[in-house]
Structure 1
Amino acid sequence: MRVGVISDTHGLLRPEAIDALEGCDHILHAGDIGRDGLIGELEAIAPVTAIRGNVDTEGWAARFLETVETELAGTRIHMRHDLKTLGFDPGERNIAVVVSGHSHKPLIESRGGVLFLNPGAAGKRRFRLPVTLARLDLGPAGPRAELVHLID
Structure 2
Amino acid sequence: MLIGVISDTHGLLDQQVAERFAGVDLILHGGDVGGRDILERLSGSAPVCAVRGNVDTGDRECSSLPESLLITVGGAHIYMTHIFTPCRDGIVGDDAHGARVVVFGHSHQQYLEDYDDVLYFNPASAGRKRFANPRSVGIMEVADGSVKARFLSLE
Under TM normalisation by the shorter chain, which class is it? over 0.9
Match of 2:137 in 1: 133
TM-score by length of structure 1 reads 0.92
Q: CA deviation at 1:87?
A: 3.5
Identical residues among aligned pairs (%): 36
1:26 equivalenced with 2:26 (yes/no)? yes
Match of 2:104 in 1: 100
1:37 equivalenced with 2:37 (yes/no)? yes
Q: 1:51 to 1:7 in 2, by over 3 A?
A: same
Partners of 1:27 and 1:16 lie apart in 2 by 15
After superposition, give the CA deviation of every residue in 1:46-90 in whole Å (9 maximum; x if it has no partner): 0000001011122111331011101111110000101139632x3
Gaps of 5+ in 1: none
Say if 2:75 and 2:145, in contact at 8 Å, map to a contact too. no
The one-letter amino acid paired with 1:133 is: V
Superposed CA RMSD in Å reads 1.5
**DSSP-derived class of the 2:85 partner:** helix
Partners of 1:7 and 1:52 lie apart in 2 by 10
Partners of 1:9 and 1:17 lie apart in 2 by 11
Partners of 1:108 and 1:87 lie apart in 2 by 16
Q: CA deviation at 1:141?
A: 6.8
Q: CA deviation at 1:140?
A: 3.2
Runs of 4+, deviation exceeding 4 Å = none
Partners of 1:132 and 1:87 lie apart in 2 by 24
Match of 1:110 in 2: 114
The one-letter amino acid paired with 2:128 is: K
Partners of 1:22 and 1:32 lie apart in 2 by 22
Q: CA deviation at 1:22?
A: 1.3
Aligned residues: 148
Match of 1:50 in 2: 50
Match of 2:69 in 1: 68
Q: CA deviation at 1:128?
A: 1.1
After superposition, give the CA deviation of every residue in 1:131-150 in whole Å (9 maximum; x if it has no partner): 00000000137100000001
Gaps of 5+ in 2: 87-92
Q: 1:141 to 1:37 in 2, by over 3 A?
A: closer
